Amino acid sequence: MIEIIESAFLTSAPTIRLAPENEFQNEVAFMARSNTGKSSLLNTLTQRKSLAKVSATPGKTRLINYFDAVFMDRDSGEKISAILVDLPGFGYAKVAKSLKTDWESNLTNFIAERKQIRVFVHLIDCRHPDLEIDASVAEYLRDICSEDQHILQVYTKIDKLNQKELNELKKRFPNALMVSNSKRRGVDKIVSVLYKMLKGNEE
């Protein structure tokens, strides 16, 4: 069993230029449209109630938040540390057009330039699996992803689907992970997949 046994807020940065210079530290970048459950997932993964702020006002946080995390394999005792990067939510309609453009170009530059990102975690609301914005993010990630990086698609809020809908989603996206923060389903699987990806990179 793999767990995140330690986690702590590291810093916030408004832009890539102010991102911490931790070239040798592996990063896992979380991205999603606002209100998809990204902050909730970060809290569930780290077993912390409020490490990341669950937003009452969608689209408000525009900072990049960094969290230190230590993954541990309970069977072997082996540990791997990584930085979890909470990227600003994208595609929120109420953000003014010009700001939205700046914000998203900042975000896309960030993820393309940041070589220490080992895993891109792209969260998608399971009730809206076909949004254009998610399709373009997925395509963008495939374009910039290098050989030593991974993309992990995670469908959130699966407690909102009935069994039939969930089966259909799994059939359509057999390689994606499915998670519910409120029911704590699929969380252990994400932690163990991330651990394997980070470990594969060390070997």
Token code pair at residue 86: 């909470």
Piece in contact with ligand GDP (CB under 6 A), picked from 2-10, 109-117, 151-159, 161-169:
151-159
Mention every residue, 6+ apart, whose C-beta is less than 8 A from residue 185.
Answer: 158, 159, 178, 179
3 vs 159, beta carbon nearer ligand GDP: 159
Q: Which CA distances in Å does 174 have to 152, 155, 158, 169, 203?
A: 12, 11, 15, 8, 27
68 vs 159, beta carbon nearer ligand GDP: 159
32 touching ligand GDP, by CB under 6 A = yes
Q: How far is the CB of 131 from ligand GDP (least distance, A)?
A: 14
35 touching ligand GDP, by CB under 6 A = yes
Outline where 10-116 has alpha helix (H).
Answer: 38-46, 97-113
Token code pair at residue 145: 């992803």
The span from the CA of 159 to the CA of 116, in Å, is: 33
- Is there a contact between 155 and 124 (Cβ–Cβ < 8 Å)? yes
* Site track for ligand GDP across 61-90, x = CB under 6 A: ----------------------------x-
89 vs 91, beta carbon nearer ligand GDP: 89
Piece in contact with ligand GDP (CB under 6 A), picked from 5-13, 19-27, 38-46, 144-152:
38-46
Name the residue with the smallest CB distance to ligand GDP. 37
Q: Give the DSSP H/E element, type plus range, for residue 196.
A: helix 187-202
Instruction: List the interface residues with ligand GDP, window 163-192 (CB under 6 A).
Output: 180-182
